[in-house]
Amino acid sequence: MQAPVRIAPSILSADFARLGEEVRAITAAGADYVHVDVMDGHFVPNITIGPMVVKAIRPHTHLVMDVHLMIAPADPFLDAFAEAGADILTVHPESGAHVHRTVQRIKALGKKAGVSLNPGTPAKMLDYLIDDIDLVLVMSVNPGFGGQSFIDGQLKKIEAVRKMIDRTGRSIDLQVDGGIDTLTAPRAIAAGADVLVAGTATFRGGAGQYAANIAALRG
């Protein structure tokens, strides 16, 4: 059963010179999660932030810290991000040789485990993982940069993942990330998404606009 829609602003689009203030602002504006995009310049063509930044912003919010690891290999960094204050650690099947073992390690650290599917990664990749994870992230753009356009073909994947989740009877977040705005959000929700990652659409217009931006994405 689909849960109420939650909004996870991606701090990739925040003002990095004022990151603590930005995190406090989206918390006050009604965000549900704080989404942290970790990129290594190897698994994806961009470099962003590491555990030290997660640790630095953790005191600025009580919200779920939703950390998306677009790094390879991911395993050597799980402990550091967990210790820094991540609540959810999401990895890609392609970022290590044994994704099930990675999920086991995340759970052993006392964190929720997510698996992210790139646009070219099939939903079938979840067949033997779905019973062990807490979140599925469908990428509706190719990861690496903010501000890209939503890939319409991913809607079928969202629908397929929703069916898989519903069959388990478990509470598993179905998160969608990439090109989410007031036009694409309703389509992602209709396909089955219940957590929307939004960077540009959240942080547009400055802190005074964040609450309205978040409310508009909820529909």
Per-residue model confidence (pLDDT) at position 146: 80
Q: Is residue 108 within 8 Å of 79, Cβ to Cβ?
A: no
The reply to whether 203 falls in a domain is yes
- Whether cis (ω within 30° of 0) applies to the bond prior to 73 is yes
The reply to whether 126 falls in a domain is yes
Sequence-ordered list of residues with C-beta below 8 angstroms from that of 84, at least 6 positions apart, any chain: 51, 52, 54, 55, 58
| Set 32, 37, 75, 173: catalytic member | 37
The reply to whether 1 falls in a domain is no
Name the packing angle between helices 19-28 and 210-218 (round to 10°).
50
Q: Which two tokens stand for residue 95?
A: 């970022």
In the chain, which stretches have pLDDT less than 70?
none
pLDDT tens per residue across span 126-152: 999 999 999 999 999 998 888 889 999
The reply to whether 202 falls in a domain is yes
The reply to whether 190 falls in a domain is yes
Q: How many domains does the chain have?
A: 1
The reply to whether 17 falls in a domain is yes
| Set 32, 40, 177, 194: catalytic member | 177
- In 3D space, the residue among 215, 219, 218, 192 whose CA is nearest the CA of residue 205 turns out to be 215
Per-residue model confidence (pLDDT) at position 134: 98
- Residue 127 among the catalytic residues: no
Per-residue model confidence (pLDDT) at position 84: 98
- Residue 79 among the catalytic residues: no
Q: Is 152 annotated as a binding residue?
A: no
Q: Is 192 annotated as a binding residue?
A: no
Per-residue model confidence (pLDDT) at position 3: 84
CATH of the domain at 111: 3.20.20.70
Q: Is residue 10 within 8 Å of 37, Cβ to Cβ?
A: yes
Separation of alpha carbons 108 and 127, rounded Å: 21
The reply to whether 55 falls in a domain is yes
Q: Is 219 annotated as a binding residue?
A: no
* This prediction's pTM: 0.97
Q: List the domain range (segments joined by +) for residue 132.
A: 6-218
Q: Is 146 annotated as a binding residue?
A: yes
